[in-house]
Amino acid sequence: MIRSASIRLRSAAFMLPILLISGCGTDGMGDLRQFVKNAHADRKPRVEPLPEIQTHETFAYASEKGVDPFAAFNLKPTGTAAVSGPRPDLNRRKDPLEEYPLDSLKMVGTLSRGTDVWVVIQAADGTVHRAMVGDHMGQNFGMITKITEEKVELVELIQGPTGQWIERDGSIAIEE
């Protein structure tokens, strides 16, 4: 009995300082929590009103009153207009850089030996290619026309809505 009372007294003596220390400890953030709680309690957020939705008059197109804009004769050019002008060579062998869209290609530098100049192009899949003036790149029949230290210039052939081919200038600048 005396022994169990002695054990209880020792354990109480051991536990008492631990309880006192843990009861006195705080994280020191009470005043910060109180400030955050009260800082904007009386303010209401300002919400902009929604813009008014404008209604538009609808227009019903009646093709019996006029010409059908989607008729075949309105879309196809008459005469030799579609035959003249630039055309891509569909029978030539495609260059490797023609597999990628132009906006997925990056110019990473240039190489030169004597009068020959090549542009170094990195494709989206990480492969690196070199090309020179006259080579093709991009999916719109783009042909390289000029290579400088800063960019490579090319001319693409885009097919218009009526079937004619239109030349469009493009370029890829080096990324630094």
Distance in angstroms (rounded) separating the CA atoms of residues 142 and 97: 10
Could you tell me the residue ranges of all domains in the chain?
63-173
Tell me the percentage of the chain whose pLDDT exceeds 90. Answer: 37
- Provide the CATH number for the domain formed by 63-173 in this structure: 2.30.30.830
pLDDT beyond 90 at 131? yes
Q: Which two tokens stand for residue 78?
A: 């008459």
pLDDT recorded at residue 46: 84
| Cα dihedral 144/148/149/153 (nearest 10) | -40
Higher pLDDT, 20 or 33: 33
pLDDT in tens, 52-109: 998 888 877 666 667 776 776 666 655 554 456 788 888 889 999 999 999 999 999 9
pLDDT recorded at residue 85: 74
Higher pLDDT, 44 or 105: 105
Cβ proximity of 136 and 95 under 8 Å = yes
Q: Which residues partner with 111 through β-bridges?
A: 118
> Position 3: which residue type?
R
Tell me the percentage of the chain whose pLDDT exceeds 70. Answer: 81
